[in-house]
Structure 1
Amino acid sequence: MGETENLKLGERGAWLSIIAYIILSSLKLIIGYFAGSEALTADGLNNSTDIIASIAVLIGLKISRRPPDHNHQYGHFRAETVAALLASFIMMAVGLHVLYDAFISAISPKDQSPDIIAAWTALFSSFVMFGVYKYNFKLAKNIKSHAMMAAAQDNKSDALVSIGAFIGIIGSQVGFAWIDTITAFIVGILICKTAWEIFKDSSLSLTDSFEGADLKDIEDLITETPGVVSLKDIKGRYHGSSPLIDVIIEVNPHISILDGHKIADLIEDKLKKEKDINYVHIHVEPDEKELNKQYTS
């Protein structure tokens, strides 16, 4: 399955997240308001930011499917990464707002506990979001999409946040009303944490970061390829969810150009089959040590 088809499949997961978040955020904000639960209201605000984040991911996936043009010769695959970066800013702003409201509530604490319906709403929401997480996690693994994997992890954190809200509301029911406020603090921190992680991953991708461990595995695979004398240089970066690898290998200087080309083809096939890397640029050079021996003999 090609990159474009994978991105199209990823849109299904984005739409599922959007629909789930619209329903759950509306439910939580309404019930949180009337039941007097700060934790459930904070959870609802969290889901409202997730709507925007999921829409941003959806738009990014759609733009990424556009074919290359004269301004984007490598395609538009980084659009999904830019969308995730913008979504992280929105999530961070809302997380800070939730923390501010919880701080104000701590200064002027309330004695009344929220209605028990708020707890069951939070528990129901956690089950729904865990189901969405399982679907998007499986989808992200199948299509190998970093953006969808980030969305799936966000779904999982939302399920955990709802469980935390449930625990906080139940605790307030047994005479500890302040637990609801403490839970709102925790929810705000989790929102900010998720926003920071998405921002960090997106920033690293946009600045051409690549995991050293991944490069080491690729390096071992190349050096073990028959005909490769040495690996002179290797670089990696991501273009959206697709890794791009630049390699310089040294081969026996006495082989033909055709044989050198065959070695490069063999490396490309191995990287595609074993690492699912479709974009590899290989520059073939003669072995310098062998050339020096020839010049000095």
Structure 2
Amino acid sequence: MDQVKYDNLKLGEKGAIISIIAYICLTAIKMVIGYTSNSEALKADGLNNATDIVASIAVLVGLRLAQRPADNDHTYGHWKAETVASLVASFIMMVVGLQVLYEAASSIFEGKSESPDLIAAWTGIVCAAVMYFVYRYNKRLALKIKSQAVMAAAKDNISDAWVSVGTVIGIVGSQFGLPWLDPLTAVLVGLLICKTAWGIFREATHHLTDGFDEALIIAYRDTISNVDGVDEVRDLRARNYGNNAVVDVVIVVRADMDIQTAHDISTNVEDEMFREYDVYTVHVHVEPGLDDSGKENTEYHYSKEANG
């Protein structure tokens, strides 16, 4: 199972590399056309793609670091490297977003009087189409390898496509005697960059502080409760290592049960969690419930850990 996950990380690198290549090309095109056509919105869109280069590189670096096996000082592996890289990328994106906001707001207050050349609008249309196709590729890849990082990259791709569409609207609108509409669109682009950066920061910090989806916790509990031999789920916790879910569960079984039967029940719990949710590791701790006489045997405890 570990090898399959490592192979998926390797395959996920392709999506990050394609995004990097696309963003480099689109950034260069948008910045050149933006300056020559005097379009603040297209320049802001270009800076947005520049931050996406950094974000995609962070995803690529994270995917590669996460492939490193466990060692003496990383006994759980390097899965969280991807999350740390995303956190760094969010800081960079926020700085650029604030810079775009500052320059766009300055342009509005200075009273821009010239509308950008329509070539800027055509550039935005072509770039939006390119990002849409990159989005479709990364989305298919993310679903295939079940990668949250690649799916996040795909969502970023489609977000950039919509930003380019908004840029085109602002540029075209400025042709109708509303030159301020172009820098106003740049402001909206800057706000979107900041919003995206905040979303990445919030998700990364949530994972790094061992936050976990409450709905999944409830689903895990229901699934384990339905395993034959499990009388009660006394405690259940989960956390993320990169894209991998690690589950710790305390189950209650009959106190008069022999250790081999308890072992088999814990194995069934693990197998069910691997099959239903593809979790990475399940640690099952078994505690005694009541025996046939209605008494609790407090001397019986059994723990078992398994990796998917």
TM-score, L = length of structure 2? 0.93
Q: How far did residue 294 of structure 1 move?
A: 2.5
Alignment of 1:93-112 (within 5 A): 93-112=95-114
Distance 1:22 1:247 in 2: 46
Distance 2:212 2:236 in 1: 11
Residue matched to 1:156: 158
Residue matched to 2:288: 286
Contact kept, 8 Å, 2:63 with 2:82, in 1: the verdict is: yes
Contact kept, 8 Å, 2:256 with 2:292, in 1: the verdict is: no
Matching residue within 192, 196, 203 for 1:190:
192
Residue matched to 2:116: 114
Contact kept, 8 Å, 2:255 with 2:296, in 1: the verdict is: no
State the SS of the aligned residue for 2:122: helix
Alignment of 1:31-180 (within 5 A): 31-180=33-182
Q: How many residues align?
A: 295
Q: How far did residue 207 of structure 1 move?
A: 0.4
The one-letter code matched in structure 1 to 2:273 is L
Distance 1:58 1:92 in 2: 20
Stretches of structure 2 that go unaligned for 5 or more consecutive residues are 298-308
State the SS of the aligned residue for 2:268: helix
The one-letter code matched in structure 2 to 1:294 is K
The one-letter code matched in structure 1 to 2:44 is A
State the SS of the aligned residue for 1:293: coil
Distance 1:8 1:261 in 2: 35
Q: How far did residue 140 of structure 1 move?
A: 1.5
Q: Deviations over 1:210-254 (max 9, x none)?
A: 111001011000001000010000001000000000000000111
Q: How far did residue 25 of structure 1 move?
A: 0.3
Q: How far did residue 291 of structure 1 move?
A: 8.9
Alignment of 1:234-273 (within 5 A): 234-273=236-275
Corresponding position: 1:17 with 2:28: no
Q: How far did residue 292 of structure 1 move?
A: 8.9
Corresponding position: 1:203 with 2:205: yes
Contact kept, 8 Å, 2:58 with 2:89, in 1: the verdict is: yes
State the SS of the aligned residue for 1:71: coil
Contact kept, 8 Å, 1:271 with 1:278, in 2: the verdict is: no
Which deviates more, 138-147 or 53-62? 138-147
State the SS of the aligned residue for 1:72: coil
Distance 2:281 2:295 in 1: 35
Q: How far did residue 111 of structure 1 move?
A: 1.1
Q: How far did residue 278 of structure 1 move?
A: 2.9
Alignment CA distance shift 1:292-1:164 (3 Å): farther
Q: How far did residue 295 of structure 1 move?
A: 6.5
State the SS of the aligned residue for 1:199: helix
More helix by share: 1
State the SS of the aligned residue for 2:102: helix
Which deviates more, 12-21 or 263-272? 263-272
Distance 1:52 1:278 in 2: 29
Which deviates more, 24-33 or 148-157? 148-157
Q: How far did residue 109 of structure 1 move?
A: 1.5
Distance 2:148 2:203 in 1: 9
Distance 2:183 2:117 in 1: 14
Distance 1:294 1:99 in 2: 69
State the SS of the aligned residue for 1:284: strand
Q: How far did residue 110 of structure 1 move?
A: 1.5
Q: How far did residue 293 of structure 1 move?
A: 3.2
TM-score, L = length of structure 1? 0.97
